């Protein structure tokens, strides 16, 4: 086949793969090249290891199906770094271990009042690791960009110091590797692996709770790195001191450097994020649509992306232009469904579990604080997380009338404002409720 012909076929395959899996479609697919298309195999060239990892994890299926549909033959697909470009080869090994998400760069991170401090400190650390803020601790609720920022620091550091040895992993990854090393009686190589890096990045350290042995190991790793001027970067869903069962000595170390919070983005930032995410996928949406999505979805940026994906998927399948009406229809189902998914039973389960009380107690006439508090919290959460009316909520909690539910909501709102601990507890409960698998 002539080169030109192969390239045309490949362009067709990429287009088809996009249509088959809009969720994982990215604008940089344009940069993919065909390295080989022969003998039933298609090798696709990518600019770097991060893209290779992303495509292998997310897009192998869609590209395989696309290749089969376009060529009419069985084709196996693989992705590799396009080694024609010499400079890229140097990064290869380090990034293989790093597994960075290609979208998670500083360029793709929209800065606003809610995340300015966190973003600026991450940029500073990427510029001069080990000297500015050490450790850097980023915290905030789920879906607000912590993982994105951690990856962005790694990208930036790699770019500036291409020989830097970086370890980035989830806290669970750290714990699992540690457990495996102990099982295999190989803790020495585990220690060597983690204590010899220039930058250690651990995402979601709240999962260290109740992992005593791992906390101990982490403590020594931390000290070693810190004393040698190596950079440590951590993220969590709450302040160090609010992570349950985290050892005091770890809490104190986490507070040595800079602790930066990410808040939920305001409206303007949400609009900008929707636009940025649309651009990343090569979608063009009008300001009106971006504003509509930002207006409808506010809890979490992952949901903003979900909304965009839904719209994209609808236009891909129907071939329609993205209009405001189409966005509205596409989203109504989704937004309604998200709200419908949580029911009062989920809420009651989480709350009774946390306070160790029974549902019958909540439904009873008992008025001691150990019962009224969880009862009011149930009402408050039900009001905020479901679409049930005040009457329905009262009905589930012992046939109380709507004024009682209203009073409970006002009361908990007040406490929430005045007591940071309750504030954190309510957030944690809401997190558990929204993440609970539903039947």
Question: By CB under 5 A, is residue 206 in contact with Mg ion?
Answer: no
CA 251/CA 246 separation, integer angstroms:
7
Strand partners, 46: 81
* 21 DSSP β-pair partners: none
Write the CA distances from 128 to 148, 198, 227, integer angstroms: 19, 12, 17
Tell me which stretch binds Mg ion (CB under 5 A): 140-148, 297-305, 338-346, 408-416.
Answer: 140-148
Candidates 115, 119, 147, 269; binder of Mg ion (CB under 5 A) is 147
- The item of ligand ADP, Mg ion, none sharing an interface with residue 366, based on CB under 5 to 8 Å by kind, is none
In the bound state with ligand ADP, the residue whose beta carbon lies nearer, of 149 and 405, is 149
Interacting residues toward ligand ADP by CB under 6 A: 103-104, 108-110, 115, 140, 142-148, 273, 276, 301-302, 305
**How many beta carbons lie within 10 A of that of residue 163, not counting itself?**
8
- The SS3 call for residue 293 is helix
Q: 3-class secondary structure for 334-393?
A: HHHHHHHHCCHHHHHHHHHHHHCCCHHHHHCCCCCHHHHHHHHHHHHHHHHHCCCCHHHH
- Residue 155 CB, nearest distance to Mg ion (Å)? 16
Q: In angstroms, give the least distance from the CB of 136 to Mg ion.
A: 15
Q: Of Mg ion, ligand ADP, none, which one sits near residue 264, judging by CB under 5 to 8 A according to partner kind?
A: none
Q: What CA–CA distance (Å, rounded) separates 439 from 346? A: 10
Least distance from Mg ion to the Cβ atom of residue 360, Å: 38
Q: Which of ligand ADP, Mg ion, none lies near 305, with the C-beta cut-off 5 to 8 A by kind?
A: ligand ADP
Q: Which does 143 bind (CB under 5 to 8 A by kind): ligand ADP, Mg ion, none?
A: ligand ADP
SS3 33: strand
- Asked if 238 interacts with Mg ion (CB under 5 A), we say no
For the bound state, the minimum distance from the C-beta of residue 146 to ligand ADP, rounded and expressed in Å, comes to 3
To the nearest whole angstrom, how small is the minimum distance from the Cβ of residue 122 to ligand ADP?
11
Please identify, using beta-carbon distances, which residue of 235 and 386 lies nearer to Mg ion.
235
Q: Residue with CB nearest ligand ADP?
A: 145
Tell me the C-alpha to C-alpha distance, in Å, between residue 233 and each of 32, 138, 160, 377, 423. Answer: 32, 8, 17, 35, 26
Least CB distance from residue 151 to ligand ADP, whole Å? 8
Quote the least distance from Cβ 146 to Mg ion, whole Å. 5
Q: Find which of ligand ADP, Mg ion, none residue 26 binds, CB within 5 to 8 Å per kind.
A: none
Place of tokens 């290609």: 102
Q: Closest separation between CB of residue 212 and ligand ADP, Å?
A: 25
With contacts defined by CB under 5 A, name the span among 10-18, 143-151, 254-262, 380-388 that binds Mg ion: 143-151
State how far the Cα of 322 lies from the Cα of 343, in Å rounded to an integer.
33
Q: Label the pairing between strands 258-261 and 136-139.
A: parallel
Q: How far apart are the first and last CA of the chain?
A: 53
Q: Which one of Mg ion, ligand ADP, none is in contact with 144 (Cβ closer than 5 to 8 A by kind)?
A: ligand ADP
**∠129-130-134 over CA atoms, to 5°?**
110
Minimal CB distance residue for Mg ion:
147
Q: Count Cβ atoms below 10 Å from residue 378 Cβ, excluding itself.
A: 26
Residues that bind Mg ion (CB under 5 A): 146-147
């Amino acid at each position: 086949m002539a080169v030109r012909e192969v390239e045309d076929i490949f362009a067709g395959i990429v287009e088809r793969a996009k249509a088959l899996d809009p969720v994982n479609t990215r604008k940089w697919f344009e940069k993919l090249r065909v390295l080989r298309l022969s003998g039933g195999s298609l090798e696709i060239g990518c600019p770097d290891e991060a893209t290779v990892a992303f495509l292998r994890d997310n897009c192998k299926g869609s590209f395989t199906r696309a290749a089969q549909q376009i060529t009419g033959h069985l084709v196996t697909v693989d992705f590799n770094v396009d080694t024609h470009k010499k400079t890229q080869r140097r990064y290869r090994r380090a990034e293989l271990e790093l597994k960075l998400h290609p979208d998670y760069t500083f360029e793709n991170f929209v800065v606003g009042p809610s995340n300015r401090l966190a973003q600026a400190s991450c940029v500073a650390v990427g510029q001069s690791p080990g000297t500015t803020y050490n450790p850097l601790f980023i915290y905030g609720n789920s879906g607000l960009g912590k993982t994105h920022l951690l990856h962005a620091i790694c990208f930036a550091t790699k770019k500036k110091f291409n020989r830097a040895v970086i370890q980035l992993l989830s806290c669970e990854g750290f714990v699992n590797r540690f457990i495996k090393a102990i099982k295999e009686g190989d803790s020495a190589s585990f220690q060597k692996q983690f204590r010899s890096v220039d930058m250690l990045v651990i995402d979601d350290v709240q999962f260290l709770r109740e992992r005593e042995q791992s906390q101990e190991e982490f403590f020594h790793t931390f000290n070693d790195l810190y004393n040698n001027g190596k950079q440590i970067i951590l993220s969590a869903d709450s302040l160090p001191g609010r992570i349950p069962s985290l050892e005091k000595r770890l809490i104190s170390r986490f507070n040595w450097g800079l602790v930066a919070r990410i808040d939920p983005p305001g409206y303007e930032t949400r609009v900008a994020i929707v636009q940025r995410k649309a651009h990343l996928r090569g979608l063009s949406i009008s300001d009106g649509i971006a504003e509509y999505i930002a207006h409808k979805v506010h809890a979490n940026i992952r949901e903003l992306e979900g909304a965009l994906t839904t719209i994209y998927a609808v236009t891909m399948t129907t071939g329609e232009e993205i209009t405001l009406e189409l966005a509205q229809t596409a989203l109504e189902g989704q937004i309604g469904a998200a709200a419908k998914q949580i029911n009062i039973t989920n809420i009651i389960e989480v709350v009774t579990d946390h306070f160790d009380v029974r549902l019958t107690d909540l439904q009873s006439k008992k008025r001691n604080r150990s019962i009224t508090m969880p009862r009011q919290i149930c009402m408050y959460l039900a009001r905020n997380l479901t679409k049930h009316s005040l009457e329905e909520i009262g009905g589930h909690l012992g046939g109380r009338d709507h004024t009682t539910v209203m009073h409970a909501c006002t009361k908990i709102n007040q406490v929430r404002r005045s007591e940071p601990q309750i504030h954190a507890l309510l957030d944690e409960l809401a997190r558990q409720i929204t993440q609970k698998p539903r039947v």
